[in-house]
Structure 1
Amino acid sequence: MKRIEALHEISRITDDYCSECPFNDQSKVEQCLGCDHYLRLRNIGNALVNQTSEKRKGKGVESVEVIRGHKPKRPCTLTVNEYKELKQKGLTDMEVAKANDCSWKQLRHFKVRENLVRQ
């Protein structure tokens, strides 16, 4: 099934059956588990995920980050002492992040986690 056909089928099922269902409470999927329409929606969704994965692999791409041009996330491996030493040398947080091959945002999370952020 082509992607567009799958999306149309999902819309048709939700419009024809799910919108009319007395158990339609989108916060509680447990009520839908035994429903044939729910199972069909799950199968279509899984097929879409598989199609997307296969398409990426065919292009030699393993992750969405690579498709979007982002570097895969790596944890900030900096220690508190290393951070303090670099700051004493006069480096900005952006320079510290670049020197440790992590993003400024990752460095910020590190600082919050280690209580290095001024309140």
Structure 2
Amino acid sequence: MGALEKAVMDVVWTDGGWMAPGEVHALLASERGLAYTTVTTVMVRLFDKGRLERRKDGRAFAYHPTSTRTEWAAAQMDQALGAVVDRRSTLTHFLDRLDDADRTQIRRMLIAKEHS
């Protein structure tokens, strides 16, 4: 996902509801200097990629994310793991990059999964 797509997704994820391109534009324009048509184009592309769903809202469309931010991040991690041959080595390198708190959290989650 490119920087502009991520900026749009961050807005719709944070809002959580259905948003028109004008609403997203209003939140992004001041910090990024984007044109309304640019925001609309990005939202249509995100819809075409399946990252946003849309419904008719008057004469325009409103958009809503098809997944939560955490669901999307988990899917990206799964896709990255699926692209390597040596999953064990990749996971080891990933764990090496985590701080102690994250490793402890993963350990607790694995234990909870084993007992459920």
TM-score surpassing 0.5?
no
Greater relative contact order (Cα 8 A, min sep 6): structure 1 or 2? 2
More helix by share: 2
Task: Output the TM-score relative to the length of structure 2.
Answer: 0.28
More strand by share: 2
Task: Output the TM-score relative to the length of structure 1.
Answer: 0.28
Computing the radius of gyration over CA atoms, which structure comes out larger, 1 or 2? 1
